[in-house]
């Protein structure tokens, strides 16, 4: 009985440890992973939900400094905090990434904003430090990319993105989700279609989906997280999960 008791404690601690590892991510998707000061872009910056803006029913997330709104972000946007108050932001499905400094953010006058007319994924009262936009050809999984100097201190950016044209035409319905690894220091972008998900016959696309990905600690392993999917670790190909 003592052995069983100790075994249960060990198993429980192991499960908690694994769970904690998988819950730590460096990118955040609106609105699911935004709350209070998370993601942290500065000591006095707080995120709040916006359900109604000037009569429009919406699902927006605002960034606030004291009583002022300094940013508005639509659904399905990713924010990746960096050092010194800088952060990256991109819209899922887009290949454009913008770099901002939170110290540059200024109050936004929101009284007359009609969000649906703006047709923006995010709104800040400043210009980005830099912007990049990458493209790739059909079946291309690695490209050379000339990153601006402002990106030189970023080790890597790991995206979960939706990219059309990754597979040949097939009678089987497929998704188009990929892990995209951008490495500014090596001037490389690598694309890994998520075969385990895109080609699965039992996935309810739209209801189940992959939300974000990150390294497991300082290792080469990549973990992924999803809505109604759970947490997984990818195998060495980065296209299948470890079973």
Q: Which residue has the tokens 């006095």?
A: 44
The number of beta carbons lying within 10 Å of the beta carbon of residue 190 is 16
179 in a structural domain: yes
Please give the model's pTM, rounded to 2 decimal places: 0.88
pLDDT recorded at residue 12: 41
Inter-residue contact 132 to 183 (CB < 8 Å): no
Domain that holds residue 108: 23-133
Buried b (16+ CB within 10 A) or exposed e, 44-73: ebbbeebeebeeeebebbbbbbeeebbbbb
Inter-residue contact 124 to 110 (CB < 8 Å): no
Residue 7, token pair as written in the block: 């075994």
The number of beta carbons lying within 10 Å of the beta carbon of residue 86 is 19
As for how many domains the chain has, the answer is 2
Inter-residue contact 227 to 32 (CB < 8 Å): yes
Residue 116, token pair as written in the block: 């649906």
Handedness of CA 142, 145, 147, 153 (dihedral sign): positive
Which residues contact residue 39 at a Cβ distance below 8 angstroms, ignoring those fewer than 6 apart?
28, 33, 47, 79, 80, 81, 87
Q: Residues 178, 108: one domain? A: no
pLDDT recorded at residue 171: 56
Q: Residues 139, 242: one domain? A: yes
178 in a structural domain: yes
Q: Residues 66, 118: one domain? A: yes
Q: Residues 240, 140: one domain? A: yes
Residue that terminates a domain, selected from 133, 158, 179? 133
C-alpha to C-alpha distance for 241 and 243, rounded to whole angstroms:
6
Residue that terminates a domain, selected from 114, 133, 152? 133
pLDDT by residue for the chain (243 residues), tens only, comes to: 433 433 343 334 434 434 444 468 999 999 999 999 999 999 999 999 999 999 999 999 999 999 999 999 999 999 999 999 999 999 999 999 999 999 999 999 999 899 999 999 999 999 999 999 999 876 788 999 999 999 999 999 999 999 887 887 655 567 899 999 999 999 999 999 999 999 998 999 999 999 999 999 989 999 999 999 989 999 999 999 998
210 in a structural domain: yes
pLDDT recorded at residue 21: 44
């Amino acid at each position: 009985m003592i052995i069983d008791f100790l075994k249960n404690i060990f198993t429980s601690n192991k499960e908690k440890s694994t769970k904690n590892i998988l819950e730590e991510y460096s990118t955040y998707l609106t609105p699911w992973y935004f709350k209070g000061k998370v993601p942290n872009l500065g000591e006095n910056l707080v995120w709040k939900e916006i359900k109604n803006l000037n009569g429009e029913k919406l699902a927006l997330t605002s960034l606030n400094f004291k009583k002022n709104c300094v940013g508005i972000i639509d659904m399905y946007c990713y924010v990746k905090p960096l050092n010194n108050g800088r952060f990256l932001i991109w819209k899922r499905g887009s290949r454009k990434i913008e770099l901002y400094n939170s110290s540059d953010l200024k109050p936004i006058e929101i009284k007359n904003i009609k969000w649906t007319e703006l047709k923006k994924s995010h709104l800040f009262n400043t210009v980005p430090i830099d912007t990049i936009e990458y493209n790739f050809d059909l079946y291309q999984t690695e490209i050379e990319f000339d990153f601006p100097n402002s990106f030189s201190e970023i080790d890597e950016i790991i995206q979960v993105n939706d990219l059309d044209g990754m597979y040949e035409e097939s009678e089987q319905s497929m998704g188009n989700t990929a892990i995209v690894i951008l490495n500014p220091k090596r001037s490389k972008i690598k694309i890994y279609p998520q075969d385990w998900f895109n080609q699965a016959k039992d996935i309810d696309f739209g209801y189940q989906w992959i939300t974000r990905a990150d390294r497991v600690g300082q290792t080469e392993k990549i973990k992924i997280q999803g809505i109604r999917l759970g947490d997984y670790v990818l195998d060495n190909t980065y296209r299948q999960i470890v079973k």
